[in-house]
Chains A and B, each alone.
Chain A
Amino acid sequence: MQNIEALLLEPVGCLAEFPSAPFHEIALQLFGRKRKAGSSASAIYWYVLNLMESARTPLGAEKKRLAENLEVEAVDAASMYEDVAPALAELKSMGIRLFVATSLSRKAAARFIERNSLDEFLSGVHTRDDAGGVKAAPLLKAVGGASLTRGKTMFLTDTLEGIKAAHSAGVHPILMMNDPDEAQRLAMHNPAGGVVSMHEMPDFLRLLAAQNQRGLS
């Protein structure tokens, strides 16, 4: 793997523990899906993204607003992992460019960043509203917008859908191993790597740089 220049960050499941109820509400109210699509907020979030992606017609203004409001509700109830801010600060000091690349709405992403004081670490924010789509679309927007080299860019994710989105965008999917059982299953889907927690990312990138310097990777 080449030395990494940029990380794409999806707040849901990678930067914070989100509640699942608001995403379930989106599935129910916008798409009429009563069945809960998983136990974690990430699983339900990516399920909703699949529904959005496969919807025949774009969401109307009222439904958009409803989704936005429920996402903001989720953001307000989310608790950022305690190692995220120190890890982002360290990564930034290493010269790594950090982007929020999320399928959340612009309003929800902005609220998340403001609420957790992440603005100082970020080189850019790309949401489904800017990208005109979900899943891989914000990743592609971030890569294109900042002229990132795909082979030098990682996307952190804790779901199979996230791994697929990263593969389709041509960036390295890195598994956030929040739940060991789920991570064990996802490890079979060819992520480029995996970390137990965000605080390991600086060491990950240092190791890569050292390996490349010595011609080991």
Chain B
Amino acid sequence: MKKVSIYRPTTVDEAIQILSQHGSSASVYAGGTDLLVRLKNRLEQAPSYLVDIKKIDNLRYIKEDGQGGVEIGAATKLAELADSKLLQEKYPMIVEAITKISSPELRNASTLGGDLLQEVWCQYLRGGYSCWRNGGYLCYGAIGDNSYYHSAMGGRLCYAVYPGDAATALIPFDAHAKLATPQGVKELSIEQMVPGDMLVDGKIQSHVVRYNEILTSVVIPPPKPSVRASFEKLRPRGVWDFAMASLGISLQLNGKTIEDSRVVFGGISGKPYREKTVEAFLRGKTLNTDLGEQAVAVALADAAPLKYNATKIDMAKGLLASGLARLNA
């Protein structure tokens, strides 16, 4: 394992100070289910300084906010989200998505912030190849085995897929994130926070959180009574695996008429892929048994599969059809 120094700040301000002091060689450490694996694999890009935020006591909570929404501390364990009665009552789809992340053991360690901001799981990066995210200048996934961990929707230097499921489930509810920065609190929608391969502080990463910023919480707006939502996920095995394709979908209904929708695919692109063409198509349509087939016909027209992953697009379209069927049931 790569040798590291660990800081244990007790406040967010202290943590930001330490991160600012060490620049890109430091990283926030919470659940460790991503970070420690990168350290164990001695990746070039793995940090030398860990800023353990577990001692900061106001980052781990699930609470109702003043408007009837829910605010979740970024260091809250995924297992705690899965067991939350408040979340189950207000956003059962999010709970369903969380229970499909990884395994029960890992959900006991992983945090919401870690799931949202995790590094990609491309086998070439994790295997120590000198790729764009690991000190090199080439994407091995684009030319090698790209059947699982790589984008079927194009890329920007790196072709790995964004691996998190929480974002795919949160975006349909227009959730947003609060970041602590040296300049104060910054708020971004989840979609803005994980826009896919970005050049940030001289690195390629899936999110826009800078080296000296900390994701502190996620706020989900109050649920609308007329909204139905569903989360679908296909993976090689029933537990543990990342999505080959996933779908977070919400429909705002007036009777059977769709007034608004959010359609977000996971596991197929370098970001949670919001399919606005389908959203526009669904607006004003009647939710019925034929709608899935019609929506599939207009979905993912921008697909750009690599040599071995065209099947991801078929899977994603299948999830769209099954998701709409489920919401119609």
Interface residues of chain A, those whose CB is within 8 Å of chain B, are 1, 174-175, 177, 180-181, 183-184, 187, 191-196, 200, 203-204, 206-208, 210-211, 213-214, 216-217
Point out the residue from B24, B157, B306 that lies within 8 Å of A203, measured CB to CB.
B157
Residue contact B203 to A216, C-beta cutoff 8 Å: yes
List A contacts of B139 (CB < 8 A): 194, 196
Residue contact A207 to B199, C-beta cutoff 8 Å: yes
Chain A CB count within 10 A is highest, among B23, B199, B201, B202, for B202
In the bound complex, what is the Cα–Cα distance between A206 and B199 (angstroms)?
A: 8
Residue contact B143 to A216, C-beta cutoff 8 Å: no
Chain B positions 285 through 308: 1 when the CB is less than 8 Å from some CB of chain A, otherwise 0: 000000000000000000000110
List A contacts of B144 (CB < 8 A): 180, 184
List A contacts of B23 (CB < 8 A): 214
In the bound complex, what is the Cα–Cα distance between A193 and B137 (angstroms)?
A: 4
Residue contact A193 to B199, C-beta cutoff 8 Å: no
B142 in contact (CB, < 8 A): yes
CB proximity to A under 8 Å, residues B204-237: 204
At the interface, is chain B mostly helix, strand, loop or mixed?
Answer: loop
List A contacts of B143 (CB < 8 A): 177, 180-181, 183-184, 187, 194
Could you give 26 example pairs across A and B, Cβ below 8 Å? A174-B137, A177-B143, A180-B306, A181-B143, A183-B142, A183-B143, A184-B144, A191-B138, A192-B137, A193-B137, A194-B139, A195-B157, A196-B139, A196-B142, A196-B159, A200-B157, A203-B157, A203-B199, A207-B132, A207-B199, A207-B202, A211-B202, A213-B202, A214-B23, A216-B24, A216-B202
- Name the distance in Å between A190's Cβ and chain B's nearest Cβ: 11
In the bound complex, what is the Cα–Cα distance between A208 and B199 (angstroms)?
A: 10
Chain A CB count within 10 A is highest, among B23, B143, B144, B156, for B143
Residue contact B204 to A207, C-beta cutoff 8 Å: yes
Contacts A203-B156, A203-B157, A207-B202 aside, 19 further interface pairs with beta carbons under 8 A come to A180-B142, A180-B143, A180-B307, A183-B143, A187-B140, A192-B137, A193-B138, A194-B143, A196-B139, A203-B199, A204-B137, A206-B199, A207-B157, A207-B204, A210-B199, A210-B202, A214-B23, A214-B202, A216-B24
**Assuming the A-B contacts A180-B307, A184-B144, A187-B143, are A175 and B202 also in contact, with contact meaning beta carbons closer than 8 angstroms in the complex?**
no
- Name the distance in Å between B26's Cβ and chain A's nearest Cβ: 13
Interface residues of chain B, those whose CB is within 8 Å of chain A, are 23-24, 132, 136-140, 142-144, 155-157, 159, 199, 201-204, 306-307
Chain B, Cβ-Cβ closest to A182:
B143
Chain A, Cβ-Cβ closest to B137:
A193
- Name the distance in Å between A194's Cβ and chain B's nearest Cβ: 4
Point out the residue from B24, B136, B159, B306 that lies within 8 Å of A214, measured CB to CB.
B24
In the bound complex, what is the Cα–Cα distance between A183 and B143 (angstroms)?
A: 6
In the bound complex, what is the Cα–Cα distance between A211 and B306 (angstroms)?
A: 28
In the bound complex, what is the Cα–Cα distance between A44 and B204 (angstroms)?
A: 36
Residue contact B201 to A214, C-beta cutoff 8 Å: yes
Residue contact A187 to B202, C-beta cutoff 8 Å: no
Residue contact B136 to A200, C-beta cutoff 8 Å: no
Enumerate the 5 nearest inter-chain pairs by beta-carbon distance, A residue then B residue, closest first. Answer: A193-B137, A194-B138, A210-B202, A214-B202, A180-B143
Chain B, Cβ-Cβ closest to A209:
B202
Residue contact B138 to A187, C-beta cutoff 8 Å: yes
In the bound complex, what is the Cα–Cα distance between A216 and B137 (angstroms)?
A: 13
List B contacts of A210 (CB < 8 A): 199, 201-202
- Name the distance in Å between A7's Cβ and chain B's nearest Cβ: 14
- Name the distance in Å between A163's Cβ and chain B's nearest Cβ: 12
- Name the distance in Å between B116's Cβ and chain A's nearest Cβ: 23
Residue contact B202 to A194, C-beta cutoff 8 Å: no
Residue contact B138 to A175, C-beta cutoff 8 Å: yes
List B contacts of A208 (CB < 8 A): 137
Residue contact B24 to A193, C-beta cutoff 8 Å: no
List B contacts of A217 (CB < 8 A): 202
Chain B, Cβ-Cβ closest to A193:
B137
In the bound complex, what is the Cα–Cα distance between A200 and B199 (angstroms)?
A: 12
In the bound complex, what is the Cα–Cα distance between A211 and B23 (angstroms)?
A: 12
Chain A, Cβ-Cβ closest to B132:
A207
Chain B, Cβ-Cβ closest to A213:
B202
Residue contact B201 to A193, C-beta cutoff 8 Å: no
Chain A CB count within 10 A is highest, among B138, B156, B159, for B138
Chain A, Cβ-Cβ closest to B159:
A196
- Name the distance in Å between B250's Cβ and chain A's nearest Cβ: 33
Chain B, Cβ-Cβ closest to A216:
B202
In the bound complex, what is the Cα–Cα distance between A170 and B203 (angstroms)?
A: 27
Point out the residue from A183, A184, A192, A204 that lies within 8 Å of B157, measured CB to CB.
A204
List A contacts of B155 (CB < 8 A): 196
In the bound complex, what is the Cα–Cα distance between A11 and B224 (angstroms)?
A: 57
List B contacts of A180 (CB < 8 A): 142-144, 306-307
Residue contact B156 to A200, C-beta cutoff 8 Å: yes
In the bound complex, what is the Cα–Cα distance between A184 and B307 (angstroms)?
A: 12
List A contacts of B156 (CB < 8 A): 200, 203
In the bound complex, what is the Cα–Cα distance between A187 and B131 (angstroms)?
A: 11
